Chains A and B, each alone.
Chain A
């Protein structure tokens, strides 16, 4: 009985693992892009140019108040209609990165403003330029504050990748659905898929827990 079960897991699990590779790649690339985008947006906001800030706020609000799925559909289905065709993976990465960038820009904004004032003044008072104060004093401290929210975002991102199966990106859910149409072993396959996600997210969750604990101690 046990060997039967293990065989089944192996048979059905292997395609799912292929999907997992895409899932992880997608998560990592979107995460990196989202962090970069979020940081850049937050820094630009520091320049306090009214029009630019308004544009950024609009961008952020739009992405925060609409579902990821809608954003993905617009990118994947809507763009070809206007002549631009992109692969599912690319659409997924762009969509998730833009979404993430909007969310993280708020996280960075909060983190930066939590540190900004007094620290900047003391940096300038010892003769640093604004750029140096940013580089040596402010950003290093911002990291410590923003690490937990970024970690939580990463976990949410991992789970959001399931949704990109709707635009045929070859990740776990996508493979799961294909398997189901071929073998009709619905219950087992979907439980296996859920388990696979859990195995990916659980270690992340523990790491984020550690971030949060360290933060409390540091405070």
Chain B
């Protein structure tokens, strides 16, 4: 048993000169992809969340529809549409671009709901009290609503970051040269799928796990103040 485990592990140093640099570069692509899509998702999510509160019916309807669609269609389907499906219409997107747009726009649907929930969790009375002392809606948002909403929003936001990190693996299916694709290619070439997928799994784990721990710590710290906001 121990022999076979040793044999298994020895494969790594054997092939490290070949695998190492490629995996390392691919890891950075994964990280870049995560950050790009997270940024896009946050910005889009904010716009959609604000749009959902708009007095203009069309804008509101569009935003509600956007959220339903983004949450109801698999990310893979959206990626395929963006990367393959737009080609006959003359739009040829680079794999990386299609990836972060697809991930970002889909995640924006969830982000919008996170923002809405955060703002909605602030008791209406606090806004009224702000108006009563003479604050404009903008001021009440800036000094009263936003400081409290941000505390509610941060944990789920961090959670979305972790989800996006994991979802970058799906982009391998539209030939984006990130971790998963590298692993698959190397696995096919070297006939050592288990080694490569395990290696890549471990890398994902050590990218995501610290974020998970951070999220939990932040969540605990904010839970105390959360109780007041909902009073």
Contacts and interface: CB of A to CB of B under 8 A. Distances in A.
Q: Interface centre among B74, B183, B204, by most A CB within 10 Å?
A: B74
A78 B198 contact: yes
Interface in A63-88: 64-71, 73-74, 77-79, 81-82
Contacts of A160: 74
A73 B74 contact: no
A161 B209 CA distance: 24
Interface string B64-108: 000011011111111011001111110000000000000000000
Interface stretch (B55-63, B124-132, B161-169): B161-169
Interface stretch (B37-45, B150-158, B187-195): B187-195
Contact of B77 (A61, A73, A162): A162
A208 to B, nearest CB: 10
Interface residues on A, range: 35 or more
Contacts of B73: 159, 194, 197-198, 201
Q: Give the secondary structure class of B's interface.
A: helix
Contacts of A61: 209, 212
Contacts of A162: 74-77
B77 A66 contact: no
A52 B27 CA distance: 33
Contacts of B76: 162-163, 165, 173
Interface of B: 68-69, 71-78, 80-81, 84-89, 162, 166-170, 172-173, 180, 183-184, 187, 191-194, 197-198, 200-201, 204-205, 208-209, 212
Given A69-B170, A77-B193, 19 more contacts: A61-B209, A61-B212, A65-B208, A65-B209, A69-B180, A70-B169, A70-B197, A71-B201, A73-B193, A77-B187, A81-B191, A165-B173, A166-B173, A173-B76, A173-B80, A190-B80, A190-B85, A194-B78, A198-B69
